[in-house]
């Protein structure tokens, strides 16, 4: 590819040089001139809205002032010094205060010069000040200074600011880039038809306006163009990948529903499947019988019955002469899948085996030999399943449980377990994914959703209690244990932390022993630092009803199934994320009795913590919870997105921009339907840019 101005390394940009370039590399990941240009402002100062000092009313308000610096003084305190400058405008005086970089700022400030000041108002004991304001000297070169109406503000760091690469300097660098930019450096990448149809501005205009908009109309136009571009090309890559996979990767054909499936369904199942489960099994059966390689996501809330669906799909594979495997993220969960599968398949004639890192020596060697001979039908286990020595005779279906716990490369290794054709892939998750995120993140997968719970399942009642209500919670625990129920008590930490005021597991265990003495009660303990054998032993004691209370960290978050456990108490609930709280709550409510989730917290809560706890108390719907979680935390932190590239969006917001996402997906689908290879002359701009993106990224889109 021909190199352009934007491809040059950043040290060759006027005003940068090798030292500053190194800092821009390490602090904000800017290596080329293009990298710096595509670091957009995160907010803008509206310089048309200027305040007078006398009009300042609210603490915390962000405002713009203009005035003269009339005094600058350094004040020495007991521990550190601070810089105080007094700003005067026609209506009064206000103090500007710096606690960090005071000496640096002092050297920059000039008394009797006029400044533009922007910052957050602090009102303490009636006195107004602005800590660490952004400043611009209006007296220096004022005649030549063109004030932007919307002034860009860029993300920065203390190191950048200290080396003269603050927002003001970044603005100068970006202006320098834009002054040298030509159409050849930033060619149009969308078809004229799409630009006209959606009334989009040009690519060049979008980049100019996103940095230096003259008004909100230009800023909105730039935002719309860049957001559309971000999601449109991602959707094209995902959908094209899916199309190519369906065309090129023929799959094993599972034609018949045989004796094993029928025997299990008629004799062992013991209950009626929900309509949602039936619908999902029908979708999966159609996939596995089509001759096209299946790559399907099975999404269902905790307790919705995904495991049964997975088991019945494995029986379909076995009835057609193939083996199946199930990969789980932890040994506890994998072993539970193994024991429940053995239990459910009694009398069906299925040979099931378990493999984890703790299976060693002669036992492991025998198991691997049985597997390659075809004497094992279903293999259930942990990461050990994807190791090279594990070879199947004829693997036809690979299921991954809680798929976000595995990296893409790890999951790809499952494909290699059948050398003739890759096995059909089913990935299961109990983490509800908001629809906009699912459309984006799993656009290359076919998605099945189990959206109803089994009949007779009672919703878990969730309540919030502060420390002052501890006595009534303890009384309630005694009452439920007397009825024969079991209780989970979950803590966020194992050891004391000097930084976080958390009640840790050991202290909690000691306190519970005081209220539930060993003479009358039994308590299990499980945490991540225990040996696998000890963890399993403690879990089994609880599963078998030998212990009344399970004290644990979040190792019991996923998959553990104890129908008799009807109470989940979560200590320091404010320290847990919303999806984690929902997963923990899913450990109870698995039996016929009414179950409860009690969220214990301190009295003082942040706004986000209040929102999380209120949401938990108001709804059991995982999809509603996922939407709230995404609004609080942003799409970049939702489980699984770090591996996907979704968190790389510069402007697109998956919560707020659903209309842009929907439009981009529809246009991408329409385009590929009529021109799958993008060979038409009118699509060459799009094809050229898509090819350059595909060269930049390893295409793992076809892997589940």
Count the residues in the chain: 704
Asked whether residue 311 is domain-assigned, the answer is: yes
CATH of the domain at 143: 2.40.50.140
- Averaged pLDDT for residues 679-687: 92
Coil, helix or strand at residue 471: helix
Task: Answer yes or no: is pLDDT of 440 > 50.
Answer: yes
Q: Pick the residue with more confidence: 399 or 638?
A: 399
For residues 281 and 365, membership in a common domain is answered with yes
Q: How far is CA 253 from the centre of its chain?
A: 35
For residues 374 and 508, membership in a common domain is answered with no
| Residue 20: closest CA among 209, 212, 157 | 157
Task: Answer yes or no: is pLDDT of 257 > 80.
Answer: yes
DSSP single-letter state for residue 637:
G
Task: Answer yes or no: is pLDDT of 623 > 70.
Answer: yes
Residue 534 pLDDT level (bands cut at 50, 70, 90)? confident
For residues 116 and 75, membership in a common domain is answered with yes
Asked whether residue 374 is domain-assigned, the answer is: yes
Residue 351 pLDDT level (bands cut at 50, 70, 90)? very high
- Averaged pLDDT for residues 606-626: 88
- Averaged pLDDT for residues 85-110: 90
For residues 574 and 551, membership in a common domain is answered with yes
For residues 508 and 597, membership in a common domain is answered with yes
Predicted TM-score (pTM) of the model is 0.63
Highest mean pLDDT among 167-181, 195-209, 513-527, 638-652: 195-209
Strands 378-381 and 486-490: unpaired
Task: Answer yes or no: is pLDDT of 507 > 70.
Answer: yes
For residues 35 and 56, membership in a common domain is answered with no
Choose the weakest-confidence range: 33-47, 85-99, 192-206, 475-489: 33-47
Average pLDDT, the chain: 84
- Averaged pLDDT for residues 444-453: 76
For residues 473 and 541, membership in a common domain is answered with yes
Provide the strand spans (E) within 508-579: 523-526, 549-552, 565-570
| Residue 84: closest CA among 130, 138, 137, 139 | 130
Contacting residues for 657 by C-beta, under 8 A, at least 6 apart: 227, 231
Task: Answer yes or no: is pLDDT of 502 > 50.
Answer: no
Q: Give the C-alpha distances (Å, rounded to integers) separating 169 from 18, 152, 161.
A: 16, 11, 9
Task: Answer yes or no: is pLDDT of 17 > 50.
Answer: yes
Asked whether residue 16 is domain-assigned, the answer is: yes
- Return the residue matching tokens 């976080």: 500
| Residue 431: closest CA among 646, 577, 607, 600 | 577
Share of the chain above pLDDT 90, in %: 38
| Residue 703: closest CA among 499, 408, 437, 480 | 408
For residues 15 and 138, membership in a common domain is answered with no
Asked whether residue 450 is domain-assigned, the answer is: no
Choose the weakest-confidence range: 108-117, 378-387, 440-449, 457-466: 440-449
Helices 607-618 + 578-585 axis angle, to 10: 30
Q: Which domain holds residue 412?
A: 259-288+305-429
Asked which of 429, 450, 473 is the last residue of a domain, the reply is 429
Q: What is the pLDDT of residue 197?
A: 93
Q: Give the C-alpha distances (Å, rounded to integers) separating 624 from 451, 564, 654, 677.
A: 12, 27, 15, 38
Q: What is the pLDDT of residue 405?
A: 53
Asked whether residue 228 is domain-assigned, the answer is: no
CATH of the domain at 264: 3.40.50.300
Phi-psi region of 390 (alpha: psi -120 to 50; beta: other; left: phi over 0): beta
Domain count, the chain: 4
- Averaged pLDDT for residues 434-461: 72
Q: What is the pLDDT of residue 89?
A: 93
For residues 274 and 410, membership in a common domain is answered with yes
Asked whether residue 97 is domain-assigned, the answer is: yes
Residue 500 pLDDT level (bands cut at 50, 70, 90)? very low
For residues 325 and 399, membership in a common domain is answered with yes
Asked which of 603, 619, 635 is the last residue of a domain, the reply is 619
For residues 351 and 491, membership in a common domain is answered with no
Residue 479 pLDDT level (bands cut at 50, 70, 90)? very high
Task: Answer yes or no: is pLDDT of 560 > 80.
Answer: no
* Per-residue pLDDT tens over the stretch 186-237: 899 999 999 999 999 999 999 999 999 988 899 999 999 999 999 999 888 8
- Return the residue matching tokens 């995404």: 630
Distance CA 437, CA 644 (A): 11
């Amino acid at each position: 590819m021909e190199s352009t101005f934007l491809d040059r390394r950043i040290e060759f940009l006027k005003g940068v040089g090798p030292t500053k370039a190194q800092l821009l590399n390490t602090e904000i990941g800017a290596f080329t001139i293009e990298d710096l240009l595509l670091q957009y402002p995160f907010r803008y100062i509206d310089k048309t809205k200027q305040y007078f000092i006398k009009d300042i009313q609210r603490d915390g308000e962000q405002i713009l002032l203009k005035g003269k610096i009339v005094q600058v003084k350094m004040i020495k305190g007991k521990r550190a010094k601070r810089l105080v400058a007094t700003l005067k405008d026609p209506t009064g005086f206000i103090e500007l205060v710096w606690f960090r970089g005071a000496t640096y700022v002092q050297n920059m400030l000039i008394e009797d010069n006029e400044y533009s000041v922007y910052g957050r108002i602090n009102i303490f004991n009636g006195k107004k000040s602005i800590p660490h304001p952004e400043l611009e000297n209006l007296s220096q070169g004022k005649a030549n200074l063109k004030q932007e109406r919307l002034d860009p503000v860029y993300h920065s760091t203390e190191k950048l600011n200290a080396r003269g690469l603050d927002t003001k300097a970044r603005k100068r660098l970006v202006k320098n880039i834009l002054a040298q930019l030509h159409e050849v450096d930033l060619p149009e990448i969308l078809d004229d038809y799409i630009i006209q149809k959606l009334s989009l501005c040009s690519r060049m205009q979008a980049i100019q306006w996103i940095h230096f908009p003259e008004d909100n109309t230009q800023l909105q136009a730039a935002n719309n163009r860049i957001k559309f571009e971000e999601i449109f090309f991602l959707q094209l890559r995902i959908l094209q990948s899916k199309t190519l996979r369906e065309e090129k990767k023929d799959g094993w054909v599972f034609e018949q529903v045989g004796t094993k499936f029928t025997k299990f369904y008629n004799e062992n199942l013991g209950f009626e499947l929900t309509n949602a489960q039936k619908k999902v099994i029908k979708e999966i059966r159609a996939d596995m019988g089509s001759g096209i390689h299946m790559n399907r996501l099975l999404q269902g809330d905790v307790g919705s019955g995904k495991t049964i669906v997975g088991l019945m799909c494995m029986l379909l594979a076995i009835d057609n002469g193939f083996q199946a495997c199930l990969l789980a993220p932890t040994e506890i969960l994998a072993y539970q899948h193994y024991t429940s599968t053995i239990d459910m398949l009694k009398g069906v004639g299925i040979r099931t085996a378990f493999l984890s890192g703790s299976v060693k020596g002669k036992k492991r060697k025998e198991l691997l030999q049985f597997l390659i001979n075809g004497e094992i039908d279903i293999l259930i286990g942990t990461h050990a399943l994807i190791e090279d020595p594990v070879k199947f005779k004829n693997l036809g279906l690979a299921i991954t449980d809680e798929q976000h716990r595995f990296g893409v490369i790890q999951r790809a290794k499952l494909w290699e377990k059948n050398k003739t054709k890759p096995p059909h892939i089913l990935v299961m998750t109990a983490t509800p994914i908001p629809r906009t995120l699912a459309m984006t993140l799993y656009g290359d997968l076919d998605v099945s959703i189990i959206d109803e719970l089994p009949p007779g399942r009672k919703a878990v009642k969730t309540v919030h209690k502060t420390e002052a209500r501890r006595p009534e919670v303890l009384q309630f625990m005694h009452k439920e244990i007397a009825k024969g129920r079991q209780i989970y008590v979950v803590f966020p930490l194992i050891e004391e932390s000097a930084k976080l005021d958390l009640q840790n597991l050991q202290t909690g265990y000691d306190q519970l022993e005081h209220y539930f003495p060993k003479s009358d009660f039994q308590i299990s303990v499980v945490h991540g630092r225990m040996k696998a054998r000890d963890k399993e032993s403690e879990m089994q004691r609880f599963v078998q009803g030998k212990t009344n209370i399970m004290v644990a960290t979040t190792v019991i978050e996923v998959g553990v199934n104890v129908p008799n456990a009807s109470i989940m108490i979560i200590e320091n609930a404010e320290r847990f994320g919303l999806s984690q709280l929902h997963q923990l709550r899913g450990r109870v409510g698995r039996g016929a009795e009414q179950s409860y989730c009690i969220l214990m917290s301190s009295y003082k809560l942040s706004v986000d913590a209040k929102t999380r706890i209120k949401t938990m108390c108001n709804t059991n719907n995982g999809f509603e919870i996922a939407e709230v979680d995404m609004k609080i935390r942003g799409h970049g932190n939702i489980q699984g997105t770090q591996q996907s590239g979704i968190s790389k969006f510069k402007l697109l917001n998956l919560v707020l921009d659903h209309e842009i996402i929907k439009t981009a997906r529809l246009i991408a689908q329409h385009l590929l339907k009529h021109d799958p290879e993008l060979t038409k002359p009118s699509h060459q701009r799009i094809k050229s840019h898509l090819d350059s993106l595909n060269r930049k990224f390893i295409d793992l889109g076809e892997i589940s």
